[in-house]
Structure 1
Amino acid sequence: MGPNTTTAPDTVGETAAPARRSRVYPWIVFALTFGLLLSDYMSRQVLSAVFPLLKTEWALSDSQLASLSSVVALMVGLLTLPLSLLADRWGRVKSLLLMAVLWSAATLLCALATNYEQMLGARFLVGVGEAAYGSVGIAVVLSVFAPRVHSALSGAFMGGGSFGSVIGVALGGVIAVNLGWRWSFAAMAVFGLILVALFRALVSERKLTDAAVLDDPADTPTGFRAPLSSLFSTPAVVLAYIGGGLQMFTAGVLLAWLPSFFNRSYGLAPDKAGAMASIFVLAVGSGMVVCGIITDRVSRDDPTKKWTTAVVYGVLSLVFLGAGFQMPSGSTQLILIGIGAFFSAGSSGPIAAMVANLTHSSVRASAFGTLTLANNLLGLALGPFVVGLLADRFGLVTALQIAPLIYVVAIVALILGKRAYPAGRRKLAALTAIS
Structure 2
Amino acid sequence: MNLYSPEHQAGERDDYLVSRPRAWFAFAMTFALMLFDYIDRQVIVSLFPHLKLAWSLSDKQLGALVSIISIVVALGGLPVALLADRFSRVKSIFVMASLWSLASISCMFASSYGAMFAARAMVGVGETGYGSVGGALLATLFPRRLRATLQGGLLAAASLGSVLGVLVGAEVAKYWGWRAAFGVVGVPGLVLAVLYLLVSDYKTVALTPRSERARSSPLATVRQVVGTILGSATIWWTCLGAAFQLIVISTIWSWLPSYFMRFHGIAPDRAAREAALVVLCGAIGGIVWGNLADRLGARGHTRKLVMVASLAVVTFVVFLTAFTVAASSPHQFLLIAFGGFLMTCTLAPSAGVIFDVVHPGARATGASILSLFQNLFGLAVGPVLGGWFSDMWGLQTALAIMPAFGIVAAMCFLLAQRTYESDVARVLGVHVDAAASDVPPTAVSA
- 1:415-430 to structure 2, matched below 5 A, reads 415-428=414-427
- The residue number in structure 2 matching 1:5 is none
Tell me the distance in 1 between the aligned counterparts of 2:86 and 2:319: 42
Give the 3 Å change call, closer, same or farther, for CA 44–394 of structure 1 in structure 2. closer
Partner Cα distance (1:375, 1:399) in 2? 21
CA contact (8 A) 2:166 2:272 kept: no
Other-structure match for 2:317: 319
Q: Whole-Å Cα distance in 2 between the matches of residues 302 and 106 of structure 1? A: 45
Structure 1 partner of 2:274: 276
Identity of aligned residues (%): 36
Q: Deviations over 1:174-202 (max 9, x none)?
A: 334444555433332321111122111x2
Give, in angstroms, the shift of residue 88 of structure 1.
1.7
1:60 to 55, 59, 69: 55
Task: Give 1:55-204 correspondences, 5 Å limit.
Answer: 59-62=54-57, 68-113=65-110, 118-200=115-197, 202-204=198-200
User: Cα offset for 1:319?
Assistant: 2.7
* Distance (Å, rounded) in 2 between the aligned partners of 1:169 and 1:221: 50
Aligned to 1:256: 254
Residue 13 of structure 1 corresponds to 13
User: Could you say if the C-alpha distance between residues 399 and 156 of structure 1 is closer, same or farther in structure 2, counting changes exceeding 3 Å?
Assistant: same
> Is there any run of 5+ residues in structure 2 with no aligned partner, and where?
1-8, 214-220, 432-446
> Which runs of 5 or more structure 1 residues have no equivalent in the other structure?
1-8
Distance 1:249 1:332, change over 3 A: same
CA–CA separation in structure 1 for the residues paired with 2:304 and 2:285: 15
Q: Which amino acid aligns with 2:343?
A: S
Q: Structure 1 residues 330 and 162, CA, compared in 2 at 3 Å: closer, same or farther?
A: same
Distance 1:10 1:67 in 2: 48
Q: What SS class does the counterpart of residue 268 from structure 1 fall into?
A: coil
Partner residue, 2:349? 350
- Supply the RMSD in Å over aligned alpha carbons: 3.2
Q: Distance in 2 between matches of 1:396 and 1:46?
A: 20
Change (3 A) 1:150 1:307: same
Deviations 1:366-403 (A, max 9, x none): 11111112112332222333333434444333333332
Change (3 A) 1:308 1:22: same
Once residues 121 and 266 of structure 2 are traced to their aligned partners in structure 1, the CA distance between those partners, rounded to angstroms, is: 33
Structure 1 CA distance for aligned equivalents of residues 128 and 318 of structure 2: 33
Q: Is the 8 A contact 2:148 2:294 kept in 1?
A: yes
Specify the SS of the correspondent of 1:303: coil
Does 1:369 pair with 2:365?
no
Is the 1:230–1:359 contact (alpha carbons within 8 Å) kept by the matching residues of 2? no
Larger helix proportion of the pair: 1
User: Contact conserved, 2:170 with 2:268, CA < 8 A, in 1?
Assistant: no
**Corresponding position: 1:388 with 2:387:** yes
Greater RCO structure (CA 8 Å; 6+ sep):
2
Deviations 1:399-431 (CA, angstroms, capped at 9, x unpaired):
333322222221111111111112323444699
Q: 1:238 to 1:275 in 2, by over 3 A?
A: same
Provide the residue aligned with 1:232 in structure 2. Answer: 230
Distance 1:388 1:10, change over 3 A: farther
- Offset from partner CA, 1:215-244 (integer Å, 9 cap, x none): xxx999999877221221121111111111
Q: How far did 1:359 drift?
A: 0.8
Number of the residue aligned with 1:336: 335
Counterpart of 1:33 in structure 2 is 30
Change (3 A) 1:91 1:343: same
Partner residue of 2:300 out of 294, 299, 302: 302
Distance 1:431 1:137, change over 3 A: closer
Instruction: Give the secondary-structure state (helix, strand or coil) at the position aligned to 2:323.
Output: helix
**C-alpha separation in 1, matches of 2:255 and 2:173:** 24
Instruction: Measure the CA separation in 2 of the matches of 1:147 and 1:280.
Output: 31
Deviations 1:290-312 (A, max 9, x none): 11112222322322222122123
Residues 277-296 of structure 1 deviation map (CA, whole Å, 9 limit, x = unaligned): 22111112221111111222
Cα distance in 2 between the residues matched to 1:389 and 1:117: 19
> Which whole-Å CA distance do the structure 2 matches of 1:129 and 1:182 have between them?
20
Report the CA distance shift for 1:405/1:112 in structure 2 as closer, same or farther (over 3 A). Answer: closer
Q: More displaced, 238-247 or 377-386? A: 377-386
Contact 1:10 1:303 (8 Å CA) reproduced: no
